[in-house]
Structures are given as structure tokens and as C-alpha cells.
Amino acid sequence: MTDQRPSDRTSIGIVGAGLVGCLAALAFSRKGYDVCLFDLRSDPTNIDRSKRNLRSINLAVSSRGIRAIEEVDKALSDKILKHVIPMKGRMIHDKTGLKQESQLYGLNGECINSIDRSYLNDLLLQELGQSGVKVCFEHKLVKLSNVDTTPTMEFSTKNGNVKFTFDYIIGADGAHSHFRHQMQKGMRMDFSQKYIDMQYMELYIPPDPKKKFAIDANHLHIWPRHDFMLIALANEDGSFTSTFFSPWSVIESINSSNEFTQFFKENFPDAYKLIGQDALVSAFDNNPRGSLMQISAYPYNSPLGKALIIGDAAHSMVPFYGQGMNCGFEDVRILMELIEANEGAIEKAFLAYSPQRKDDLDAICKLALDNYYEMSSKVTNIWYLTKKKLDYTLGSWFKNKWQPLYTMISFRDDIPYSKAVAIEVRQSRILNNFQMGIISSLLVYGAVQGAKVYDKWRSR
């Protein structure tokens, strides 16, 4: 075991070479810091992408994510955006398999953008390779020590344990973060993990031999069935990554691949054809079933501001608002802004980060959970749909004075999540009154008409 200290510049050690860890490493590197990035996995750029695990729900990058990448590297952001598939709305598939209905996301054709997680991760890693960041794969974090004096990380590797000391350390090692677990031992950090009673299973819709995309590529496809749902996002090659979400009891009540295909035929007849019976049988027998969990922790920083957790390590949310990565990228932007505002005093920035970020992270985690209900059920509810129609109509009339929640979350990078929620609460109250007003007017109108008919009838 050797104690290695990188260099004389201010050094930053980051654990987790996933999306958020990579962007953080790049951000610090661009600012001239000496950055080391560690991950327990093997270098994913060496692995055949088709052989990777089947547990990644496709990503949608939207304004907050794009802005965060842009602020690190505009050219990189442009490069990424060349490989996305814009989705301008949801495409709702009904149970007959015959009807599809488009519901636009934005007022002015704004899109969220489907992108393959591993493609994006590889791109970020390549960029890191060119920017002098030392990336150490197959380094499994074992222990943090001296967190608030000389932060030291011990890793187990093929060649035994190694220790590194940095000026500052960051944990971006995901929902099951070992960095967080180690940090908790030395401080009072509130923490909660809550499983959502839901499993997900990845499915695959192959490209169409003739028209490339078997269904419209520029929509996020949803088969909402109240208790459970199917979604599909397009990939560049014409295929779709599809995900089946259901309560555990639903999938566990299906006893064979035969029953599973039957279930699909009945509930998602068009998707059944798109995926294919054989693929469904194989998926039921072989594909892993993921679980969904919400994680919250507080504070995110160590008491003296030498260590910080970001991304899923600090706030793991369910995937239903498409904001997990976007929010994690925003973490990086906010952090770099705080470092700038504190003139490079990273301790101060780490200490300021927790209180500044808390309400926004709490808000988006809650929205993500609430949105499952919206996606799986409300999108077919008439009251919801008329309210949404009104919401969007007011949005198009009053532009910057009235914005639907989805717009504020996904297409505005300048409104903090918690503020968006506060604005939505106010708008929703107005909308409800408006809707009640319309209903009252209709009732009054109906009563007047009724009275006229009655009068006519009496005077006959």
C-alpha cells in the first residue's frame, strides 16, 4: 500500500466515473485543478456496448443538462447534441393498439432529447482522456479517512490496496454510494432510502427494415395502463429501448414466459408486435428486474467542507420526470458557480452548496415520484387533459408570465426546481378556479336554457 499524492496544484479526487462524476472531473480539470477520477468498474470504453447490462432506462437530456455541459465545454455539448433524438412530446398508445395520440411537451415545439447512456458516458470518458484527468478503473473505494484534514481515500485494486490523499474529495458513485457510507461514519448526516413498490424490465424494439423507426422517433412513447406502463425511447440506429414498469405484485403474479406474452398481447397489442413474441419470452426468462429507490441525504458536505456528495449519491430519484441526469449535471454547474462566487475557496463553496441546493433537490425528487402517477394514469384523464390544455393555452397567451410546470422543469435552466414548484402551486390554484368558473358558467347557461325551454313549454 503506497501513499500517493498527485501534484502541487490543488488536487481533487472524485469517486464514480458515471455521467455526473465524469462531468465534475471535466469541470474541475478545465478550471486548472489536478483531478483524479476513480471507478470500481473496468473501463467501459473497452467493452462491447451490446454486451452491457440491460438495466439502463434510456436518458433524456434537456435544458438543465445541456446548459451544465455547455458551461464546461460548449464544443462538447454541440458534439453530444449531434447524437440525440429530439422528442417533442408523449405519444399515448391506447389499449386497442390502434390509436396513438400526441401530447406535446412544450409550447413552442421544445424537445427533450433521447440519448444512449453508455454512448454519453463513453464520450465524456474520451474527453477526460484528452484533458489530462487521471482515470483509475478497477479501483474500489474501501475507506475514507481524515476527511476534513487531509482527505485520504483507500482503494482495493488487483494489485493490493492503494491510498491517495487530495485537497478535496467528491463522491459521485451513485445511489448505493460507498463514499457516502464512509462519509457518514464521521459526521451527522441524515439519510433515507425508500423503495418504491415497482420493478422495471428493459425490452428492445428492433429497427424497422423499411422505414428505420417502427414508430415515430420524435416522441416518448407511453402505453399507460394505470397500475403499470410501458415506455419506449428511440435510439440512433432505429431501434427503441423500451421499459416495462409495474408493481412487484404484477410481475410476480406472472408465472411463465407464456403468461407474460399473453399479458403483453392483451395490454400492449401494438408493442407486442413491435417487440416480438420470442424477444418477450427471452426477456421474461433472462432480463434482470430492476428496483426503484429514492435516496435523500443531508447535508451533502463534510463539516469543514473538504468532502461533498453529488448526483445520485446525494439524491437518487425515480426516473419519471427524466431529470436524474439533468439534475446531477446541474449539481456540477451550481457547484462550479459557488466556487467562482467564493473566489476559488472550495471549502466555502462546499459548505454553501448544501443549504443552497436542498430545497431544489427535495422538490425534483418529489416531482419525479408524482410524475409516475401522471404518466401511468392521468394522461388519459379528461379533467387532467382539459386542465393541461388550459395550462398550455395560458402559457401561449402570456408567454413568460405563465409557464406550465413541465416547461419550467425541462425547458428552463434558470428557474430553480423549488421555485418552479412554487410557481406551479400558484398557477394551479388559478387554473382550478378557472376550470370551476367554466363549469359554473356552463351550469348557469344550462339553467337559463332550461328555463327558456320550460317557459316555451308552459306558454304553449
Chain residues in the site for a copy of itself (CB under 8 A): 181, 188-195, 291, 293
Cβ closest to a copy of itself, residue 182 vs residue 403: 182
Q: How far is the CB of 305 from a copy of itself (least distance, A)?
A: 17
Residue 440: all three cell numbers together = 359554473
Cβ closest to a copy of itself, residue 195 vs residue 373: 195
Cβ closest to a copy of itself, residue 106 vs residue 299: 299
CA-to-CA distance for 15 and 161, rounded, in angstroms? 16
8 Å CB contact between 214 and 207: yes
The conformation of residue 4, written as its DSSP 8-state character, comes to E
Residue 198: CA count within 13 A, CB half-sphere: 22
Q: How far is the CB of 292 from a copy of itself (least distance, A)?
A: 9
Q: How far is the CB of 168 from a copy of itself (least distance, A)?
A: 24
| Residue linked to cell 425511447 | 233
CA-to-CA distance for 394 and 22, rounded, in angstroms? 40
Length of the chain: 460
* Prior bond of 319 cis (ω within 30°): no
8 Å CB contact between 17 and 38: yes
CA-to-CA distance for 357 and 344, rounded, in angstroms? 19
Cβ closest to a copy of itself, residue 46 vs residue 192: 192
| Residue linked to cell 378556479 | 433
Cβ closest to a copy of itself, residue 193 vs residue 386: 193
Cβ closest to a copy of itself, residue 88 vs residue 315: 315
Rounded to 5 degrees, φ, ψ at 213 are: -95, 125
Cβ closest to a copy of itself, residue 188 vs residue 456: 188
Q: How far is the CB of 40 from a copy of itself (least distance, A)?
A: 15
Task: Please give the torsion angle defined by the CA atoms of residues 17, 19, 20 and 22, in that order, rounded to the nearest 10 degrees.
Answer: 50
Q: How far is the CB of 289 from a copy of itself (least distance, A)?
A: 11
CA-to-CA distance for 39 and 47, rounded, in angstroms? 15
Rounded to 5 degrees, φ, ψ at 433 are: -60, -45
